[in-house]
Amino acid sequence: MSHGSGMKLLRYTNIWKTDEFSVVDQDHTGKLLDSKSITDLRRVRIHFTSYAVTSRVASVTYSDHGNTYEVTSKHYYIKETVFGRVIEFDLGALMSRDDAVAFAEEWDE
């Protein structure tokens, strides 16, 4: 396992209800190069704000063509104070929006 730090574009994909995150290398023009899957994420930057990240393993049950399946994946969460309340946001749900851009600051590959 290798450790990463700095700032790399964070990519989110959801395949068969399984969350997957990777860090993406870019050249100086912003062109996307190769990506590497991550095994743990500790800090992200979203819209100029840095957030500590917590994680939990979550199971999701879904049905496809009459068959029921259960998948398990690691979900990442950030916390934000909104109107005086601390609210936990699922990073995968945030990243699934088209306008969401996040950068990994600390991670393991």
For the chain, percent of residues with pLDDT exceeding 90: 31
Yes or no: say if 63 and 70 are a contact pair by the CB < 8 Å rule: no
**Could you report the per-residue pLDDT of 11-54, keeping only the tens digit for each?**
888 877 778 888 888 777 777 778 888 889 999 998 889 999 99
Pair of tokens at residue 6: 């700095």
Q: Is the pLDDT of residue 98 over 60?
A: yes
- Map tokens 């992200």 to a residue: 44
Look up residue 98 and give its DSSP letter.
Answer: T
β-pair type (85-90, 3-15): unpaired
Query: Which token pair is 16?
Result: 């068969």
For the chain, domain boundaries: 3-108
Nearest to 3 by CA among 36, 26, 27: 36
